[in-house]
Structure 1
């Protein structure tokens, strides 16, 4: 595509994000505004914002790239990403909103009456957030390099600067407006070009499917273990994502939290149709992208490859704008959630502390992004889901639904899951893709059950440590509120 067109698209998205973010500054004045938007976000607005922050680089670019590489095996990613929200609806959304907490560490401390549990949870949440931000910065670097020809680091730095400005300006209330806008931009940026591609390819008949389309890379299909482990990671990992969970604290009540989750399921189901279509079109008509190591760029390159002239440039610019919005919205959500944790646990919990924490939360993963490289965005995010499923998810599910959980059990389970899954991730990076055993490449199938088993067994062995406040907290979590009149 024309580099000038790509640069204009990026500038437009950046300016629109900044303008909407500073609009949020006008009505962000209290601590509650910065942390949870004063718990006044309505279901449709909140669902759009969740879609904006959840649909990350892995969803916008990575899913299509993996389908191009692996075919039907990669369909587990969109299925798992969406089905994870059904788990949220059934087990987490309403009780978590009723808890009244600002952050996940707030919830675990209140449920288990333990500062030690809070400290461990805070550490895990920060690690998860930083691990998740790094692929977003890799995706931004890839997009900048392909669309404008500028050095890749410019994309990562641009995302961090814009996110810091918007988060520092208005906190959660500001980011809610930004992310809701960015969901609909991302959906449009994928849907319009892919429909043009389908009509063009179907109408001209000039582009026959490539002979290697069935398996352009020659990779062996994934076995049952890999598919099951991936699904476990995606289903349970969604339950522990800090930037997703903090969104439920912004709903007025548990009823609206459930409505929000139902709407999100619909929004995600519609969205994932389009990355899947890009991956299938790339597999049929552009398999050379897989063999040349550009699988993650298939969404960026296909419109310009098959639709020439000004129309091709405009469609490519729209895709680039949507991709950049994906990196901005997900990184914004992660920075907001991490800033809340860091501010309350390390700084003074004030608005000033929140702003300083936001800058710290964004700069640390930028350093890691400069030191690492990723050519499989969805795969790297899948490992973050596995880590989250092995640490935050068990303490959240058992904390909500099991009266027997103790602080010792929670800490032991989170540490066990973190060591097992984190060790597998480090071993895989040291051994490389070719040398990593399949059970290390996809650790969720054994690390998640191990974390649950340790958490339950240690809790049973330390029954005397069940907090005295347990009955009161559990009653609060599971007593339905009357919906607000404005929600009817």
Structure 2
């Protein structure tokens, strides 16, 4: 691949992102603009932005790589990623919007009337955001190295710099415009090359695939996962989506709970459409670039397949489009994570205003960048899947019980999050350090969600039952607010409450 093509693709996406973000700066004036875009983002626009930030390196590059090395077992990831939004629609989306909070720690404090619960949730949100940013930077490093031949750290540095400019410029208001643009760029970038390649292959008169043989077990290069591993993975993806801070903060930007539900329905349709294409890349990759699986470069399938199937200038242009889409994925997801962690740091460490938000954003960019430089890239979808397991074991139980069970206490919430987070973190680290032989013990540690999530829920419930006097006095009123549909004029009262909250955070 001509390195100048890679340079041009990366530069075009980066410049467009900065330009759109600067436009967002022109209309970002208040704290509410920076945190939640003043809760004025309509469903289609918000759904596009959610698709932009949710479809990360794991979705754009990792899913195709998993299908390449694992066959049908790799399909659990796109199924789980999409179905997780159904869980959001059913259990979380509208109540979270009605809560009137800016961040997940805001919700924890309002629901449990507890500063310790807020502090524990803040730590978890920051940890999850930073851990999720690292795979995005690894994906950027891989993409820029393949596209241009530059050292790996350059890709991570470019993403960090561009995202810092975008987030610091205008916060949530600014990145909403950029992420919506990036989603449609990603969809175009992943769809057009594979459709073009299928047309080219179809004109050869040869079968595009050899029937069902494309999924023969003999073609798999990864070890065959057990039923437990698939169940635990699906469990973590379904519940882990509920706890992703950059996804949750998006529902605070809707005008009301009904808009939040409509947004989620649109997101489900957009995700279902998008995930068709990386799956096709994985299938074609097993036939036309199987050497990528053997060489451990399966995550590069989406980047290299168009050039392998289409010759000449057309193949070069298609490769450039894919590179642009991949970089858009890294930028959009990283910017969403940066906004969620910056909001928490600003409120809990600084003064909660715009300057504190911008400082928090810079801190949240530098630390993951350093971590990315000190670590090696694992399989992108696999590493992101472990973050899902962690959020499923910590933040997801807090949200589900906090929204749907009046008996939750702050002591129960903190104990459950501590138990789930400690067990999940210890399991993942043990699997990485101990290098256990294949077997039940290795699988329990490598995919811990099936047992850490029930432990987290159980501890929350048991400790809450043992501390009934710690239930907030206003718990009934809080639950009514979370579950009562908005009436005409309700949004106006919510807006006054939000402005009041913003005023208090700024010393007003």
- TM-score tier by shorter-chain length is over 0.9
- 1:268 is matched with 271
Q: Given that residues 221 and 293 in structure 2 are in contact (C-alpha distance below 8 angstroms), is that contact kept between their aligned partners in structure 1?
A: no
1:475 and 2:473 correspond: no
- 2:499 is matched with none
- 2:451 is matched with 446
Partner of 1:239, secondary structure, is helix
Q: Given that residues 409 and 459 in structure 1 are in contact (C-alpha distance below 8 angstroms), is that contact kept between their aligned partners in structure 2?
A: yes
User: Counterparts of 2:305 and 2:239 in 1: how far apart (Å)?
Assistant: 33
- 2:104 is matched with 104
The partner residue of 1:293 within 296, 314, 318 is: 296
Partner of 1:349, secondary structure, is coil
**How far has the Cα of 1:399 moved from its partner?**
0.2
- 2:417 is matched with 414
**How far has the Cα of 1:213 moved from its partner?**
6.6
Q: What TM-score comes out, normalization by structure 1 length?
A: 0.97
Q: Given that residues 72 and 215 in structure 2 are in contact (C-alpha distance below 8 angstroms), is that contact kept between their aligned partners in structure 1?
A: no
- Unaligned segments of structure 1, at least 5 residues: none
User: Counterparts of 1:321 and 1:265 in 2: how far apart (Å)?
Assistant: 24
In the superposition, relative to structure 1, how do residues 146 and 207 fare at CA in structure 2: closer, same or farther (>3 Å)? farther
Q: Given that residues 253 and 483 in structure 1 are in contact (C-alpha distance below 8 angstroms), is that contact kept between their aligned partners in structure 2?
A: no
**How far has the Cα of 1:432 moved from its partner?**
4.0
- 1:234 is matched with 237
- 1:340 is matched with 343
User: Counterparts of 2:378 and 2:232 in 1: how far apart (Å)?
Assistant: 21
Superposed CA RMSD: 1.6
1:80 and 2:80 correspond: yes
- Unaligned segments of structure 2, at least 5 residues: 492-508
**How far has the Cα of 1:222 moved from its partner?**
1.5
For these two proteins, the number of residue pairs brought into alignment is 486
Q: Given that residues 296 and 375 in structure 1 are in contact (C-alpha distance below 8 angstroms), is that contact kept between their aligned partners in structure 2?
A: no
Matches within 5 A, 1:308-457: 308-432=311-435, 437-457=442-462
User: Counterparts of 2:246 and 2:380 in 1: how far apart (Å)?
Assistant: 18
Q: Given that residues 256 and 483 in structure 1 are in contact (C-alpha distance below 8 angstroms), is that contact kept between their aligned partners in structure 2?
A: no
1:145 and 2:145 correspond: yes
- 2:188 is matched with 188
User: Counterparts of 1:433 and 1:325 in 2: how far apart (Å)?
Assistant: 37
Q: What TM-score comes out, normalization by structure 2 length?
A: 0.93
Show CA shifts across 1:287-309 (max 9, x none).
11100111000000000111111
- 1:115 is matched with 115
Q: Given that residues 46 and 180 in structure 2 are in contact (C-alpha distance below 8 angstroms), is that contact kept between their aligned partners in structure 1?
A: yes
User: Counterparts of 2:436 and 2:205 in 1: how far apart (Å)?
Assistant: 38
Q: Given that residues 226 and 438 in structure 1 are in contact (C-alpha distance below 8 angstroms), is that contact kept between their aligned partners in structure 2?
A: yes
